[in-house]
Every structure is written in C-alpha cells, then in structure tokens.
Chains A and B, each alone.
Chain A
C-alpha cells in the first residue's frame, strides 16, 4: 500500500517524510519534467509501506509542472491514502489547498503540523472540531520534536476516508457544475478544473468554456477568481471556528534587518561571498585531494600494468571520466548543496530573492535567479541543477545560457594557472572583466529574443528558523546522487569515445585538419586544439593537457603571453564541460543544450580570434 504526503511548500512535509522513512530515499522523475518525487519506505507491524512526498504546491488548478504532476497523481488514484499536511501557524491559507484536494474524494486524513510553533505564538487549534468540519481524522503533530509522528501510519491504515467537506461555490458556478455533471456525467473536481480552462478532455473543455464565458460576463471576473475567492472565504470560516488566539507574542523580528536595503544588501553580499569562498577553498582543496588520490591509487598503478595499447586506452579513459565525475561531485556539488540546503532550510533564500529582484530584473530574470547565478561561480553543474526553482521556461533558458558563461572555480584554475602565473595578475582580472561584459551583453540580448512573457516574482517568504542538520544532509545527499546518476554515464561514454578516437589517430588527424585555423585565426600552436577538446571533461584539464602536450609545465617557455592569454579566454568561454551538458540536457532538453553549447563555442572562438587580431 502507498501513502502520499500532500501540502503547501514549507509545511514540514519533508521533515515528516524523513521522520517516517529515514535514509534510503529514492528519487523518481516524471518523464518530461524537472519535478522530483521522493519515495521512501516505512515498516509498521512487520509490513512495508511506501510513502511518497509530493512536491509542495499552493493550488491544484495551476499549470506548473508540479501542480500538473500532483493532479495526475490524484486523478490516477496512485495512493491508497493521502496524508494532507497543514501548517498550524497558517491554517487558513493551508485550508485552501485542502479544500481542493477534498474535491477528489480520496481516502485521506489531515496532519496539522508545527503545533508546537503555533502554541508558542499563542494559537490553539481545536482539532476535534476541525475533524468534524472536514469529515476526516485530524492529528496534531510537531514533526521537529517528533511529537505524534507515530500516529501517522496507523491513521493512514485505519482512519483514512473520503472527506465530507464541500466548498459552497457561487450559485452560477454550482449551477454550471450540476449541468456539466448531468450532461457529461463527469465528476465535480474535473468540471471545476474545466470551468477554469484546465481540462484535457476536449468535449468537457468545450462545454465548460461556453458556460465559463457566460459566468465571466455576468461577474466581470474570471471563473478562476470567483472559485478562488469562494474557497478562501470558506477557509476563513473554517479557520475561524477552530483557531483561537489567546495572546499574540511579538518576538524580535529578524526581517527588520534582513529585508531592508540597509543592512539587508550587505548581509546578502556577505553571505554569498562567504558561501562562494568556502566552496572555493574547501572545494578546490578536496578536488585536488581526490584527483591526486585517483592518480596515485588508480591511474598510476593502471599505467604501470603495461597493458596492450587498446585496453590501456579504454581503461585510462574510464579512469579519467571517474576522476572528473568524482572530482566535481563531492567537492563542488556536495558542498554547494550543503550550503544551499542550509540556506534553504533557514528560510533565508526567499529574503535573498526579494533583495536581488531588482538587479536580476535587468538581466531579464527575477530575484529567485540569484541562487543559480551565485552557485555558478563555484560549479556550473549544481547551478544548472538549481534553475528548476525558476518558474517560467523563459527564465530557465536565459539563466542556463548565462550560467554556462559564468567563470566556475575550474575556470578560475585555468585563469589563475595560465594567465596569473605566466602573464600577469592584472591580465587575469581583465579576463573576468571581459566575461562579465559578455554576460551582461548576452543577458540583454537574450531577454530580447527569448520567447515567453516575463512574470514578476511572487514568492512566499518562508518563516525563519533553525535548520535541521539531518534534513540538510539528506537534501545534499539526494542531489549528489542525482548528479552522479545523470553525469557519470555521459562522462564515461564521452571519455571512452574520445579515447578511442585518440587511439585510432582521428584526433591527431583532426588536430592536423584544424591546425591552419588554430594557427592563423587564433595564433595558437596546433596541439592547443586538442587541449581545448579535453577541457570538456573538467576545464582544468585544458590547462593540464596543454602542459602535457607542450612537454613542460613552464608554459611561458613554449607560448607567448598573447597566446597564453588567448588560450585562457577561449577555454574559459569554450563549450561547457560534459557534466554541464548532461544536466542541461536533463533540465532543459536537447534544443537549449545544443544552442547553449554552440553559442559558447562560437563566442569563445570569436573572442579568441578578436584578441589574436588586436594584440598580435
């Protein structure tokens, strides 16, 4: 038997889910969407049950991926019982979704979570009365303390039943529902959706559309607005019956500091810089350790085996891929997600989005995009993975293009290792300058040409709270597993393919073919093209390969300053690494991936040629 947790974002569904299941969670993605479903198991009386944590949503009537997914989930009755989670401190708003869920008439019961917080702020909730009003079992829970968590599974097994509660709608809506039900014999919840234009059934959609138009003309309001208003009013009535406010305790509100321009923006900058620096420092230290460990423990002994050339090539490529994958996954993806989950769990992220909205707006994005952009300085891969927090495809597309251009820490290694070391520190900074100008120009360009309307930010500010280490760790762990799952196969296949190409001499032939181009257009030695090609595993590899092919670590002795500078600029801008391509594909599909890759390659070559032309 399966149970599903359903509720608004930030009601503590994940906490309950973790309390019930512990580790051993598996992530399922629905095809064609970026929405993740978490599944876990719970044992009760020697029986195993599956629990699904549905994505947090505010409504069932919207068109977002999350809402559509939950709707399908309910429509197909994929769970034996629904566990509707409500936030005791925001009961009225939470009841709005519950009333929508109730329309589906599935066996369910209600968990009123955060009862401890409600008590602390002077609210008391009459769960017995709520249970009478809704017609289902209601359990008061404090998931963080673990209070009453043990009552959830027994309730799911024994007490779940279809609710009695029914929202009284405006009489025109009720009449429309009855007439649709009579003529097409479709259930009420589907008719409600159809009246709001969200039905997939053409017959129902057409009949509902004409009725809806009539109602809209009479009310001078969209049907969606009428229905929403009815539900909110009914939620208010319900809440008024069960919530009692004894005393409003006002404690110091941190938001007085966090959401003001002063000192909010300096705090935001400090947090972002701290996050970036810690990932930079810890991440690159860990990465060096992992890369070195791989080299001494696996690659060295493997090379010493003295295998015949073909197996040696394949094995070597495999090891390089593993090295690149782990070298990104643990140091960067994991640490970033650790930091991000931490910030997310404290509720600070929504404040950051609010403050950054204006700046991001100039780039054709919204406040929420600040997170992926900042993460991009550490590693492009988790940055691309986190663009799913953006709402519209337009924003996701713009953000994806920009993020692939942001100099990640690996590119910083290239800039530091080649330009700062052999050309000069100021020249190294000038590369950053070039890139930032290009990013801003691209952003302005992209916000003009990317299709789709720009919507403003509408974000619920999650309450500030102390993060839970276990939850933060689980979230980070889930992300890293996802990354390894997505990127590893791609890395391995590409690496072996490239190894075989090299083995068969095609790479050398290719290098010879593009040599005139490399030399005349970019002014670089022929082997630079191969070095750039290897940069697609890890950007640092471009730098390392250059040293290997050049036969010396002292790059200054084999290439001129202009050549080194050009090489660095190209490899920084050049095609995103394979892992990035893999997550891009996963999150945005083939078209955007190809476009973003082609764009960065041509931009890299163009700027490289320009530099060569100007400075030669």
Chain B
C-alpha cells in the first residue's frame, strides 16, 4: 500500500509529539485522538510505516519511532515550529491559525527556505543570536567564526551587534567577504586573514561574526 508523503509526515510528527509529551510510547488510541481519525485508519497506516522502517509496533500497543522515522519527524516538527513562529510572531497571526497554516505548508516547504527563514527571524535588531525569545530555541543559530578551525576558508554572512561592527567593517569584515582562520587559541581568540591583512579578534568578537563555509 502506498500512502501520501504528507500523511506519512503527519503521522510521524504526531507520534514524536505524543512521545515527547507522555511518559510511555503512544498507543494507537492516542494517535487516533491526536489526528482525529478512526483507530482502523491509524492501524493500516502504521502497518505501512512499519514496513518502511519508520516506526515499530510493540506488543503492548505502544508505537515507537526508528532512528530514520525520528529524523524525518524532527525535520517536520522544526519546519512546523519555524513557520508557526514566523506567522505568529512576525506576521501577528493568532496561534491556532498559525499552527493550522504551518500544518499545511510544512509538507511543501524546502529545508533551505526554513533555514533561511530561521536566520531571518534571528537577525538584529529584533533578536540577537542565542536570545531567549519564544522562537529563540527553535531556530538553529548561524555558525560563528568560533565554530570553525585553523585553516578554514569562510564567507562572512552576517555581523551581529551594531557598535563593534564598525571597526570590523573598516577592516573589511563585511557580509560576503572571504576570511581565513589563521590561528585559533584554546580560548577561541582568533587571527583571521581578510583582504590580505591579519586581524586579531577577542573570543566575544569572533562569536559575533556569522560565517558559512566557502562553497
């Protein structure tokens, strides 16, 4: 039997959420209640999921996700949360409609869009990196210079923090510029090469420079 990919994602998402909430693995009954479907429908889809290797049906009626199923489920949950956060926080929609809208879009949206949307929501002046906003823990922070090692060639994607950015800008650390980490000490103090010059940075400055690996 073949099932719709979005149905599969809905199922996995529901199982993951239920497993997070409860102390024991969710039963068919729990899943049916969460998805507003009959137990018979749930039973048949779960059989397919078990065949695909996404979930395991235990003897006591508990459903657990396999690593593969869990990974897929987490991706969907993240998409859902990011979209919901965007709709409710940035666009001002109420939470139930934001959640409904997210439920529909989460199956179609690409990973890249979600990642960029997350970055966009992170951006100052609204939210700083690692800030404890409601969406703060959901969106993955951009990697900073301090996350890389000596000899890595990187592209600056963003500089957080307004004041200290000025001196960095003057020295050529601007979004889109290539930098190479020339030295990294144990405390994350860095020497980076930018525009042919070496610049020494304190750990807290280096942590405020978001970078991507050069493609």
Provide the residues of chain A in CB contact with B168, threshold 8 Å.
458
Chain A positions 50-102 with a Cβ under 8 Å from a chain B Cβ: 58-59, 61-63, 89-90, 92-93, 96
Is A406 part of the binding interface, using a Cβ–Cβ cutoff of 8 Å? Answer: no
Question: Are A354 and B205 within 8 A (Cβ)?
Answer: no
B116 → A minimal CB distance (Å): 12
Provide the residues of chain B in CB contact with A357, threshold 8 Å.
187, 189, 200, 202
Could you tell me the distance between the alpha carbons of A93 and B194 in the complex, rounded to whole angstroms? 9
Which of A12-20, A222-230, A598-606 lines the interface with chain B? Answer: A222-230
Which of B163, B185, B204 has the most A CB atoms < 10 Å from its CB?
A: B185
Size class of the contact patch on chain B: 35 or more
Could you tell me the distance between the alpha carbons of A582 and B40 in the complex, rounded to whole angstroms? 90
Instruction: Identify which of B167, B169, B187, B191 contacts A225 (C-beta below 8 A).
Output: B169
Chain A residue at minimum C-beta to C-beta distance from B168: A458
Could you tell me the distance between the alpha carbons of A255 and B198 in the complex, rounded to whole angstroms? 11
Chain B residue at minimum C-beta to C-beta distance from A236: B195
Could you tell me the distance between the alpha carbons of A261 and B168 in the complex, rounded to whole angstroms? 24
Provide the residues of chain B in CB contact with A353, threshold 8 Å.
200
Question: Are B185 and A96 within 8 A (Cβ)?
Answer: no
B123 → A minimal CB distance (Å): 6
Question: Are A225 and B202 within 8 A (Cβ)?
Answer: no
Provide the residues of chain A in CB contact with B191, threshold 8 Å.
255, 259, 354, 461
Which of A449-457, A495-503, A516-524 lines the interface with chain B? Answer: A449-457
Provide the residues of chain A in CB contact with B177, threshold 8 Å.
232
Q: How many A-B residue pairs have CB under 8 A?
A: 113
Is B108 part of the binding interface, using a Cβ–Cβ cutoff of 8 Å? Answer: no
Question: Are A458 and B201 within 8 A (Cβ)?
Answer: yes
Provide the residues of chain B in CB contact with A224, threshold 8 Å.
165-166, 169
Is A45 part of the binding interface, using a Cβ–Cβ cutoff of 8 Å? Answer: no
Could you tell me the distance between the alpha carbons of A361 and B202 in the complex, rounded to whole angstroms? 9
Question: Are B165 and A222 within 8 A (Cβ)?
Answer: yes
Is A358 part of the binding interface, using a Cβ–Cβ cutoff of 8 Å? Answer: yes
Question: Are A259 and B183 within 8 A (Cβ)?
Answer: yes
A 458-486 binary contact with B (CB < 8 Å = 1; else 0): 11110000000000000000000000000
Question: Are B172 and A458 within 8 A (Cβ)?
Answer: no
Could you tell me the distance between the alpha carbons of A358 and B202 in the complex, rounded to whole angstroms? 8
Could you tell me the distance between the alpha carbons of A232 and B168 in the complex, rounded to whole angstroms? 12
Question: Are A456 and B198 within 8 A (Cβ)?
Answer: no
Instruction: Identify which of B164, B182, B197 contacts A93 (C-beta below 8 A).
Output: B197
Is B159 part of the binding interface, using a Cβ–Cβ cutoff of 8 Å? Answer: yes
Chain B residue at minimum C-beta to C-beta distance from A67: B170
Could you tell me the distance between the alpha carbons of A260 and B186 in the complex, rounded to whole angstroms? 10
Given A58-B167, A229-B175, A255-B183, A93 and B201 contact (CB-CB distance below 8 Å): no
Could you tell me the distance between the alpha carbons of A90 and B171 in the complex, rounded to whole angstroms? 11
Is B199 part of the binding interface, using a Cβ–Cβ cutoff of 8 Å? Answer: yes
Question: Are B201 and A358 within 8 A (Cβ)?
Answer: no
B169 → A minimal CB distance (Å): 4
Provide the residues of chain A in CB contact with B185, threshold 8 Å.
260-261, 355, 358
Is B67 part of the binding interface, using a Cβ–Cβ cutoff of 8 Å? Answer: no
Which of B163, B164, B166, B182 has the most A CB atoms < 10 Å from its CB?
A: B166
Question: Are B199 and A460 within 8 A (Cβ)?
Answer: yes
Question: Are A222 and B197 within 8 A (Cβ)?
Answer: no
Chain A positions 336-375 with a Cβ under 8 Å from a chain B Cβ: 350, 353-355, 357-358, 361, 366-367
Instruction: Identify which of A96, A259, A453, A459 contacts B170 (C-beta below 8 A).
Output: A96
Could you tell me the distance between the alpha carbons of A460 and B204 in the complex, rounded to whole angstroms? 16
Could you tell me the distance between the alpha carbons of A518 and B214 in the complex, rounded to whole angstroms? 70
Is B196 part of the binding interface, using a Cβ–Cβ cutoff of 8 Å? Answer: yes
Is A171 part of the binding interface, using a Cβ–Cβ cutoff of 8 Å? Answer: no
Question: Are A261 and B186 within 8 A (Cβ)?
Answer: yes
A 178-221 binary contact with B (CB < 8 Å = 1; else 0): 00000000000000000000000000000000000000000011
Could you tell me the distance between the alpha carbons of A456 and B163 in the complex, rounded to whole angstroms? 11
Question: Are A58 and B175 within 8 A (Cβ)?
Answer: no
Could you tell me the distance between the alpha carbons of A539 and B187 in the complex, rounded to whole angstroms? 39
Instruction: Identify which of B123, B159, B172, B201 contacts A96 (C-beta below 8 A).
Output: B172
Provide the residues of chain B in CB contact with A62, threshold 8 Å.
166-167, 170
Instruction: Identify which of A93, A222, A260, A355 contacts B162 (C-beta below 8 A).
Output: A222
Chain B residue at minimum C-beta to C-beta distance from A391: B167
Question: Are B170 and A461 within 8 A (Cβ)?
Answer: no
Chain B residue at minimum C-beta to C-beta distance from A455: B164
Is B174 part of the binding interface, using a Cβ–Cβ cutoff of 8 Å? Answer: yes
What is the interface of chain A, defined by CB distance below 8 A to chain B? 58-59, 61-63, 89-90, 92-93, 96, 220-222, 224-225, 228-229, 232, 255, 259-261, 350, 353-355, 357-358, 361, 366-367, 453, 455-461
A-B contact pairs, 6 of them (CB 8 A): A222-B165, A225-B174, A354-B189, A456-B204, A458-B202, A461-B198
What is the interface of chain B, defined by CB distance below 8 A to chain A? 120, 123, 159, 162-172, 174-177, 182-183, 185-187, 189, 191, 195-206
Additional 7 contacts, C-beta under 8 A, given A222-B165, A261-B185:
A90-B195, A93-B195, A222-B162, A232-B172, A358-B185, A456-B201, A459-B200
**Among all A-B residue pairs, the 4 with the closest Cβ atoms:** A456-B202, A456-B205, A461-B198, A58-B170
